[in-house]
Amino acid sequence: MSDTRNGAATAPLILICNDDGITAPGIAALAAALDGLGELFVVAPASEQSAVGHAITVRDPVRAHPWAFSVPSGEVRAYSVSGTPADCVKLAVNQLLPRRPDLVVSGINQGPNTAVNIIYSGTVSAATEASILGIDAVAFSLCQWQGGDFEPAGRVARFIAEQVLRRGLPPGILLNVNIPPLPSDQIAGIRITRQARSRWEESFHERVDPFNRPYYWLTGQFVNLDDGGDTDLDAIEEGYVSVTPIQYDLTAHQHLDAFRSWSWDAVPE
């Protein structure tokens, strides 16, 4: 891949974002893994924004501060942003980047973004925001809640990013990639999967603050409701990288005709 330092204007511009915050090990691993693949630019939240979903900041200012960020080959331009992952992508694309990026990558998240977690995920939402803006995007997550080695996941991320840069994605479609927490030589392969049906069985811990008022802390148990065998959860369980093509068009297209057949001719007065 050519390099802008050699005067070539062809190096793809790659925006790197996440939801764990700019100091998280996963974003350092992702940037390091993509070193040399193009011109890298990091715009990430100043503090952890996990599970904020697609929230955006509209009632407060969003501030961006230049941040010292380096990869093995040298310094990468980076900004720490006071907002959400979706804010980061909007601000980067509209204001901070020198031109429109060729690819937006998000992660590598600490923890899986499989099944229903996709909808809560800030990592996926950064990539979704890019897709809404018409830019190819991939979200990467390491399926381990704490610690772990991000380097094998980084190699997977580079392999997939290269392929996306080469082939491009269909309009409105992004890739949600989950990587099992295994050494490279133990990863069984890469599978195209669908999002598993699942939910959290929630429970709230009730506690009491120093002023004697109750407060609540959400916890829960993840439940796989899917026995399909071809889901993101199945792939991870069997040691495969899971690649799920997803979209932000939430229309239930398969039910449009059924609902059109209801009675809609009378508008209540």
Residues in contact with Mn ion by CB under 5 A are: 19-20, 50, 109
> Given the complex with Mn ion, which of 12 and 200 has the nearer CB atom?
200
> Given the complex with Mn ion, which of 19 and 136 has the nearer CB atom?
19
> Given the complex with Mn ion, which of 20 and 39 has the nearer CB atom?
20
> Given the complex with Mn ion, which of 20 and 232 has the nearer CB atom?
20
CB of 264 to Mn ion, least distance (A): 42
Per-residue b or e along 90-126, where b marks 16 or more CB atoms closer than 10 Å to that residue's CB:
bbbbeebbeeebbbbbbbbbbbbbbbbbbebbbbbbb
CA distances from 225 to 37, 70, 196, 231, 265 (A): 39, 42, 8, 11, 38
CB of 138 to Mn ion, least distance (A): 15
C-alpha span between 24 and 2 (Å, rounded): 29
Q: CA 168, 107, 26, 46 torsion: positive or negative?
A: positive
Q: In this structure, what token pair is assigned to residue 231? A: 């889901």
CB of 245 to Mn ion, least distance (A): 21
CB of 18 to Mn ion, least distance (A): 7
C-alpha span between 115 and 224 (Å, rounded): 8
Q: Is 222 exposed, middle or buried (0-12, 13-18, 19+ CB in 10 A)?
A: middle
Q: In this structure, what token pair is assigned to residue 25? A: 């090990």
> Given the complex with Mn ion, which of 57 and 144 has the nearer CB atom?
144
C-alpha span between 20 and 108 (Å, rounded): 9
> Given the complex with Mn ion, which of 109 and 193 has the nearer CB atom?
109
C-alpha span between 120 and 109 (Å, rounded): 13
Which residue's CB comes closest to Mn ion?
50
CA distances from 54 to 39, 57, 68, 77, 237 (A): 26, 10, 27, 25, 27
CA distances from 123 to 86, 117, 214, 246 (A): 9, 10, 32, 13
> Given the complex with Mn ion, which of 49 and 231 has the nearer CB atom?
49
CB of 44 to Mn ion, least distance (A): 11
CB of 251 to Mn ion, least distance (A): 28
CB of 6 to Mn ion, least distance (A): 36
